[in-house]
A and B are shown apart, each in its own frame.
Chain A
Amino acid sequence: MVNSESFYDVMRRQGISRRSFLKYCGLTASALALGPQFVGQIVHAMETKPRTPVLWLHGLECTCCSESFIRSAHPLAKDVVLSMLSLDYDDTLMVSAGHQAEAILEETIRKYKGRYILAVEGNPPLNEDGMFCIIGGKPFVEQLRYAAKDCLAVIAWGSCASWGCVQAAKPNPTQATPVHKVITDKPVIKVPGCPPIAEVMTAVVTYMLTFDKLPDLDAQGRPKMFYGQRIHDKCYRRPHFDAGQFVETWDDEAARKGYCLYKMGCKGPTTYNACSTVRWNGGVSFPIQSGHGCIGCSEDGFWDKGPFYHRVTGLNAFGIESNADTVGLIAAGAVGTAIAGHAAVSVGKHVKGKESENDKNEREHV
């Protein structure tokens, strides 16, 4: 497999007109929040750069990231990105199977040593020597380490690869471990979400191919352009939050009027993602718009930060279903009772002490 074709060549070959190609470049520039002057740069990159090979591995996951990715509704993005990527290995999407598929993995790693991007969907379970996830007869963690050794960078697709997600929820029996804790010597770009937004996924890839560098990452390794703000910061229901207008039951008048879902346990204020701006399914809607609070699926350990429908969430530290308020009230109540008891004894002792002192004084006076 020789990758001398540029992205532009591939697109033309697929019957995409130059006009559509330029439109795509313009839209990509705005999706990446770049100014119009960058359109030319994207066009130039697409026309001249050879396609970057991508290996897409699947560990312990549900394939919702792939499902999201192939639904990128951005005009042309589905065709373009799949062609652009030169997606050499993706056991879910590729035609070949079995030994043939595994041979491609080998070949790409050998041929593009240090130049390919490793996209990882899902994570490796480390318990029992990784036996909970077997790919091609070997534990997934071995395939991951092998493929990561010579890659340029790792993209951790989704909450599984970024944080661990549902399979890492307490008590995490398979010891499912996020990618950055296994691959420590390569840059890991986290694109969390369960799944991540399709346009976010394609835009991250496009950015890397266009500029030959990693996007700006925040302290936790997420691209700032999509994970720099909370859902809450750009939520269209935010004015109702500030006003103090909240939905209190799912069927109340406030719910019909589209008030803020904060009291229904919406995790928008603690969730970094682009749902309230990019939205889903081609910008049609996102959970809050459809009347349900955010469950915080792109945040670390969101499965263990429940309940999804309470604002003050559980304290796993105490091993019981209790939140900060129940623990606090019990503690304050216990201390209050103890104080009352202590005060009663103190007063009793004091009065008795006074009496005996008076007795003594009286006896002395007598």
Chain B
Amino acid sequence: MSAIDSVQNPVYVYERPVRLWHWVNALALVVLAVTGYLIASPLVAPDGEASEHYLMGYVRFVHFAAGYVLAVGFIGRVYWALVGNQYARELFVPAIHRAEWWDGLWHEIKWYLFLVPEPRKHAGHNPLANMAMFVFYVLGALFMIVTGFALYGEGLGQGSWASRWFGWVIPLFGQSQDVHTWHHVGMWYLVVFALIHVYVVIREQRLSRQSMTGTMIDGWRNFRDDRP
């Protein structure tokens, strides 16, 4: 390999708030999925007076608290998309109006089907990753936030802020049980997202022409070669 300075200059992609959001969000998602599953299929507390235990209560509390973290994080992330660098915007607005974006998407699909020998270089998300992030994460998380707060509003009661803002969701689905069911399906949607996300990040870290995991830690995208 040639001297280090001849390799293409690193790009500062993920600013500090984006990185912080990513890891807080990842933790919140894990907590939400685990506690959410336990709300549908609860753990059983030991025998004794009901007043001695609060197991389901704690599980639900943790779920609601993590839900607030996810929702507030989402709002913060949208704000940063407005004020942050160009890569902060990608997540919400994939560049589908540009022909080269579609060309890149097609190339990346071929790379994943083992039809081309190497991927292209991208400072931000490659178009396939960008598309997946938008469809899986942005739409998925938005769905979970809206349905989640609709259900939360039922517990807070009619007239509460959550029921006033999100109460319309329940008749839209039919009734509360439908919202529960689809909220549960949404969890699996995000679990599938997480599986793919982790696999693809590890794979790209090993096989692509740029850094992956390190970028979400220090923010810098490093490249491994000088070719275009």
A residues with CB within 8 A of B: 218-220, 224, 228-230, 233, 239-246, 248, 253, 262-263, 267, 269-272, 296, 299-302, 305, 311-313, 315, 323-325, 327-329, 331-332, 335-336, 339, 342-343, 345-346, 349-350, 353
Contact = CB atoms under 8 A, between A and B. Distances in A.
A328 B188 contact: yes
Of all A-B residue pairs in the complex, the 6 with the closest CB atoms, nearest first, are: A328-B188, A244-B55, A244-B45, A270-B176, A324-B184, A243-B53
Contact of B50 (A242, A270, A323, A328): A242
A323 B181 contact: yes
A267 B177 contact: yes
B176 A345 contact: no
9 contacts: A239-B51, A244-B43, A244-B59, A302-B175, A324-B184, A327-B185, A329-B188, A343-B199, A350-B206
Contacts of A331: 188, 192
Contacts of B56: 241-244
Contact of B175 (A248, A299, A345): A299
B208 to A, nearest CB: 11
A325 B33 CA distance: 12
A157 B56 CA distance: 36
B41 A311 contact: yes
Contacts of A335: 192, 195-196
Given A239-B50, A244-B42, A328-B188, 18 more contacts: A220-B171, A228-B157, A243-B52, A243-B56, A244-B43, A244-B53, A244-B57, A246-B42, A253-B47, A272-B176, A299-B175, A299-B177, A300-B175, A305-B177, A324-B40, A325-B41, A329-B188, A335-B192
B78 to A, nearest CB: 28
A311 B40 contact: yes
B158 A228 contact: yes
A336 B207 contact: no
Contact residues of A: prevailing secondary structure:
helix
Nearest to B200: A339
Interface string B171-199: 10011111011101101100110011001
A220 B173 CA distance: 13
Contacts of A220: 171
Contacts of B184: 312, 324-325, 328
A230 to B, nearest CB: 7
A342 B192 CA distance: 15
A267 B178 CA distance: 12
A332 B181 contact: no
Contact of B191 (A243, A246, A263, A328): A328
Nearest to B59: A244
A269 B176 CA distance: 8
A30 to B, nearest CB: 21
B197 to A, nearest CB: 11
A33 to B, nearest CB: 14
Contacts of A262: 42
B16 interface: no
Most A CB contacts (10 A, CB to CB) among B41, B187, B188, B191 go to: B188
A118 to B, nearest CB: 24
Contacts of A269: 176
Contact of A315 (B174, B185, B195): B185
Contacts of A218: 158
A339 B175 CA distance: 36
A78 to B, nearest CB: 31
A336 to B, nearest CB: 6
A345 B114 contact: yes
Interface in B39-82: 40-45, 47, 50-57, 59
B67 to A, nearest CB: 17
B154 interface: yes
Contacts of B180: 270, 313
A241 to B, nearest CB: 6
B167 interface: yes
Contacts of B47: 245, 253
B149 to A, nearest CB: 16
Contacts of A296: 175, 177
Contacts of B191: 328, 332
B203 interface: yes
Contacts of B45: 243-245
